[in-house]
Structure 1
């Protein structure tokens, strides 16, 4: 198991920088971390039950809470905080983030979904509250 030597949050650029003791390092976007959250809410309870996360382009991480000596809990700006990111999982994300990002974009496209928060159709705007 590779253990992180540094985990640094860059809130303005919405990146989590992770360095591991074997020299592997990556800058993981908050969006990627949120979309690939290891929580049951996102992963489902088995293969094929994953829930595609949409509208997460601008999500940020508000807090990083250590969990023992093996994981961190990330608290996201959309209220999501049930994923435990183990060192092994963070390492996997660091190694595979480009592939995972491409998969995420393909899944969004296939679903006709967007990285942006869905907005109400123009007809619903201006409902007389002026």
Structure 2
């Protein structure tokens, strides 16, 4: 798991992106909206399969705080008040590795539910 621990975490508030750098040279730029809609919290994931809650209207969400949780994770505090997700190093790394497919899945779920992201929101 040590290879999945970022060596650098940098928040770019203006562009609403969390940048993660790793010892092996990997870098991920994860939009705050992406991190918010994929929060590992029970509010988003539910308490079991099929209980996930589709997050909508998060295009402008930003991260307003990053709090360490031991040596294994961070808690991200979002501008919409959401602060219950604990992002462990492995989960953050998987979010980076699978960003394109996760995002497409999210867009597909939005469409299936009849929701659309606000026009002009960045992809």
TM-score, normalised by the number of residues in structure 2? 0.91
| Equivalence for 1:121 | none
CA RMSD in angstroms comes to 0.8
Structure 2: gaps spanning 5 or more residues:
119-123
Matched, 1:44 2:46: yes
Q: Give the SS at the match of 1:99.
A: helix
How far did 1:88 drift? 0.3
| Equivalence for 2:94 | 92
Q: How does 1:22-101 map to 2 (within 5 A)?
A: 22-101=24-103
Q: Separation in 1 of the partners of 2:31 and 2:65?
A: 14
Structure 1: gaps spanning 5 or more residues:
117-130
For residues 42-83 of structure 1, the C-alpha deviation after alignment (integer angstroms, 9 at most, x for no partner) is 000112211000000010000100111000000000000000
Runs of 4+ in 1 over 3 A off after TM superposition: none
- Structure with higher Rg: it is 1
Q: How many residues align?
A: 116
| Equivalence for 2:121 | none
